Amino acid sequence: MRKAILLTCCACYSLLVFAQTDSTGNIGIVKGKAKDSVYNFMLTSATVAVYLDSDSSLIQFSLPDNFGEFTIGKLPLGKRLRLIISHVGYTTFLKKFSLSNDKKELDLGLLYLFQAVQKDGNTLEEVIVKSVPPMRMNGDTVEFNADAFRMDVNATAEDLMRRLPGFTVWGDGEITYNGKKINAVMVEGKPFMGTNDPAIATRNLPKEALDKIQVYQQRDEKNPLDSTMFANIRLKDDKKMGYFGKLSGSLGTDGRYAADGMLSGFNRKLQINTVGALNNINKLAPDIDVLVKNGSYKGEGANADYQSDFSMRGLNKTAAAGAKMQYDFIPEVEYRRTSRINADYFLKGNNSLINNTSLFNSFLEADTVLSKRSVQVADNKTWDQKMNGKYTWNSERTDLVLTASLNRGKDNSLSETHDEQDKTGVGAISSSVSRIESETKKNRLDIGLEYTNRDNDWNMKKRIAGDFTVGYRFSAESGDGYSRNQSQFISNIHSSDNKEFDRIFEQRNAHSGTHTITARYPGLTRLFFNKRSFSGIQMGLSGSLILKNEDYTDKVTDRDAVTKEYNINNYLTNNRELSTFNLQPVFYISKNFQRTLTNRYNKWVSFSANFRNQYFNFDHRSRHNFQNISYKYSYFVPDAAIEYYNHQYGSYELRFNLDFSTSVTYPGINSLAPLVDSSNLWYIHRGNLMIKPQYKKELSLGGAFTTRKSKNQLRFDATVKLGKINNSFADSTLYNKEGVRTVYTVNVDGNKFVNIESGIRKYIEIRKNTTLEVNGRYSINISEEPQYVNNTLNTSIGSYQNLLFYLGFGHKDLLNVKTEAGLRIYNSRQEGFDNNSFKSTNSYLRLITALQFPKHFAWNTNLTYNKSNSNNSDALYFTIWNASLSYRFLKGNNAEIKLAALDILRQNKGIVNTASANSQTLTTSNVLQQYYMITLSYYPRKFGKKE
């Protein structure tokens, strides 16, 4: 472990030394001032560029400062250079010059630009310059012209961004401009391929298809006092349609295989993705975007989002397919004018074979531990389908959003389990054997609407505001199930307690419908004071109403031991209905104080409060009279917040927030009066009609500091949460002599928690396109959870600590090195049992390296060292080492061959080490192990119309 850390640090230090070695060939400087020839004001938005005179290749460029002054350095000596100053509405200024060892710095003084049109309307004679200006200011938007930069024919938008001043592409994929994060990369002002993930656009669009890259800030609609930064890619007129994708197939040792496919196409109105995947190497994609990102033309690099998951339990065969579409009825972006449809469909399935061996330890008394060893073999098959649709309409006064989604799923499982249980001082007390097979079909339909109306300018003077938002959502769920439980329980204490079951749930059906209505009216300030804002105070009304109806049908039969026939179980066979009513009206008020000085600072303090009351009705009806239960509750559940913001432009950004919130959780029928399935051999859940709702209060204090200098950004954040739960739900557990648990839900006081989380992130741009990232996060959750064990009050004082550290180095896209370290520690002390305690620790150290050298070759390797231990048991160690080599060929680098070796050391182990309250679990499972694989991939792509 220590050697691995030392080697990693040495490697990073060597890389830093290498990165800081710079060329000394470009040391010349030219400077001057750009000024209007007629009105004598400085031209702060002009573009100043220096080209090599011999071939017009761009060397350096810049914008003048607020005083019109510019300085351009790192210019070659002894070569003929060309200075070009351009500005909208002015003729282009051209000046040829050269620098030498005797004259390394040239001050051109005042340089006057002439307006293109004189007052008499005559056009001035312009200087004809073939060079394209690299950048310009277009209002508040910075624009970079792609054609001004000569690059490799296969360069992408990401490669271009690495060349642009102010842009930095970091190793984790984040993009910043002058130190501020780019929140989304748009294409033609619209989300590209239905997502805001920058990599989808920047790693697929070729540089030759780009016209401009624009950078601008946009006000946050939800928080008008704040703004976010975006980048927009403008395509050339003849490149506004195209397609790109990836087709790959893999074969490996031990029958391993994988196949992936992605094809995406777009034009001015339509964007569409299609994806597919099939493998038995534990590569699971949660959604379409992951598969699209994996198919990027630039390759996966050091990205680990879609790779073999060696921590996944069992042997898995997965399949996935899907499509995603975005259609714009208004293809050209206009302010507050959108008409867009988004739709997607995703199908995924998995077949897993899992062998588990588990050890469960539970404290019963100060010196008594109950231990259960479990061996399980399970065969699980799952299929899920998700369909989503969304229509968005925006105009100057109205917003309309229509949504629809349909989820369908099917689960089949078959498991066989053998359990043995012993007790301190007694030895073996019981055992069981069970075989459970089940099938479940699930469906969910959601339909929603949200409409927002805004006042127009002439209506702003009316006392009754026209601003409002209303929403409606309908959800319908259904589930149809079947299961068979064959089980046998053997008691070593009393043979009379032996049990045997063969129980079939012929029907386990559930159906529900939910209506949700929401509304928001922000115009109370105008209504009360006839002003849009009264001393910065804003008041309004909002609320929600949720009506839900559920019905359940269970038909259960048991096999008679004598007749061998299945008879109806009249206790578990049941029909029941549940209706809930949840109304939450809210009066909200806020007050803002703001001070702003243009280009200097922006400060504000915001106070807000929501005065909410919750009315909750519960009505449950069943064929069993003891389950006929109704109750009504009304609770005051307010929340409030104070937020402070201070942005010193070009220096730092500081935020503080103090939040207070409350919430109520109501008991369900399974806590009040459940039906007890006796075929659950080790666990019996009883009801408690006296249980009351639990009321949670939480106070949160947080802060964040970010430097706003153009380079080497530092971020720091910290949050502290304090919470208390009155009438907290807790288990009251009774263990019989055979170790079978009978559990009641009860109310207890004294449930408290403290959560602390902090993080620091430092970005260091050693030089252009050579970066270093340092990222660390630490969190600790401390809780006091009272519960009853065998009628003895025991308070479990638990702490969960999570420490993560990340160090990343990147040099262009040539080299990426990432080092990660993680440590998770859980401690649990039992106050009712002489402070007996459980402790579990899991840690890892990972090194990831991606090298693209020589040209067309890519080397990837990742090495993960794992350690896991619990209490005083021996620690478990294992190391996973993966490596691959790929080669790109064909004219457009469209084809790739890849050789990979996975789990080279053949040490992978499936270990899950957890603890909670008064119990601890250690599980080992069968997992994926060593294999070798060869992959062939092809990247079809074309941009622009056919000639």
The residues, ordered by sequence, that sit 6+ positions from 583 with a Cβ below 8 Å of its Cβ are: 543, 544, 545, 546, 614, 615, 616
The residues, ordered by sequence, that sit 6+ positions from 123 with a Cβ below 8 Å of its Cβ are: 116, 117
Query: Tokens 């910043």 identify what position?
Result: 176
Average pLDDT of every residue of the chain: 90
- Mean pLDDT to the nearest integer, 35-43: 88
Question: Given a cut of 90, is residue 361 above it in pLDDT?
Answer: no
Split at pLDDT 50, 70, 90, the class of 6 is very low
pLDDT recorded at residue 130: 52
Split at pLDDT 50, 70, 90, the class of 768 is confident
HSE (side-chain half, CA atoms, 13 Å) at 185 = 24
CATH architecture of residue range(s) 26-136: Sandwich (2.60)
Confidence (pTM): 0.87
Amino acid code (one letter) for 25: G
770-789/728-735 β-pairing = parallel
Question: What values do phi and psi take at 670, rounded to 5?
Answer: -70, -20
Sheet holding 80-86, edge to edge: 58-62, 47-52, 80-86, 93-98
% residues pLDDT > 70 (the chain)? 93
Question: Given a cut of 90, is residue 902 above it in pLDDT?
Answer: yes
Q: In degrees to the nearest 10, what's the CA dihedral of 347, 353, 355, 359? A: 20
Question: Given a cut of 60, is residue 600 above it in pLDDT?
Answer: yes
Q: What pLDDT, in 10s, does the model give residues 482-539?
A: 999 999 999 999 999 999 999 999 989 999 999 999 999 999 988 888 877 778 899 9
566-568/574-597 β-pairing = unpaired
**CATH 2.60.40.10 domain range(s) in the chain:** 26-136
Strand partners, 612: 586
Question: Given a cut of 50, is residue 5 above it in pLDDT?
Answer: no
pLDDT recorded at residue 425: 87
Question: Given a cut of 50, is residue 832 above it in pLDDT?
Answer: yes
- Taking residue 40's Cβ as centre, other Cβ atoms within 10 Å add up to 9
Q: Is 456 helix (H, G, I), strand (E, B) or coil?
A: coil
Question: Given a cut of 80, is residue 366 above it in pLDDT?
Answer: no
Q: How far is CA 212 from CA 164, 179, 230, 333, 914, in A?
A: 12, 21, 14, 16, 52
pLDDT recorded at residue 302: 60
Split at pLDDT 50, 70, 90, the class of 26 is low
Give the whole-angstrom CA distance, residue 88 versus residue 126.
13
pLDDT recorded at residue 305: 72
Amino acid code (one letter) for 936: L
pLDDT recorded at residue 125: 44
Question: Given a cut of 50, is residue 583 above it in pLDDT?
Answer: yes
Q: How far is CA 557 from CA 482, 922, 945, in A?
A: 12, 35, 67
Burial bucket for residue 332 (CB in 10 Å: 0-12, 13-18, 19+): exposed
683-686/741-748 β-pairing = parallel
- Pick the closest to residue 350 from 424, 439, 411, 434 (CA basis): 411
pLDDT recorded at residue 303: 65
- Mean pLDDT to the nearest integer, 188-216: 92
pLDDT recorded at residue 304: 64
pLDDT recorded at residue 460: 62
Contact (Cβ atoms closer than 8 angstroms) between residue 367 and residue 415 = no
User: Does CATH number 2.170.130.10 belong to domain 140-238?
Assistant: yes
Q: What pLDDT, in 10s, does the model give residues 528-547?
A: 888 777 788 999 999 999 99
- Mean pLDDT to the nearest integer, 878-890: 96
pLDDT recorded at residue 220: 63
Question: Given a cut of 70, is residue 553 above it in pLDDT?
Answer: yes
Give the whole-angstrom CA distance, residue 939 versus residue 886.
14
Burial bucket for residue 119 (CB in 10 Å: 0-12, 13-18, 19+): exposed
pLDDT recorded at residue 457: 61
Looking at per-residue pLDDT, the higher value among 173 and 389 belongs to: 389
Q: How far is CA 437 from CA 479, 481, 505, 546, in A?
A: 17, 11, 10, 36
Give the whole-angstrom CA distance, residue 354 versus residue 416.
11
Give the whole-angstrom CA distance, residue 108 versus residue 124.
24
Give the whole-angstrom CA distance, residue 901 versus residue 889.
21
Split at pLDDT 50, 70, 90, the class of 458 is low
**CATH 2.170.130.10 domain range(s) in the chain:** 140-238
Q: What pLDDT, in 10s, does the model give residues 252-294?
A: 999 999 999 999 999 999 999 999 999 999 999 999 999 999 9
Looking at per-residue pLDDT, the higher value among 450 and 464 belongs to: 450
Give the whole-angstrom CA distance, residue 796 versus residue 784.
6
pLDDT recorded at residue 833: 67
pLDDT recorded at residue 874: 81
Q: What pLDDT, in 10s, does the model give residues 110-164?
A: 999 988 765 444 444 444 445 678 988 888 889 999 998 889 899 999 999 999 9
Q: What pLDDT, in 10s, does the model give residues 670-725?
A: 999 999 999 999 999 999 999 999 999 999 999 999 998 878 889 999 999 999 99
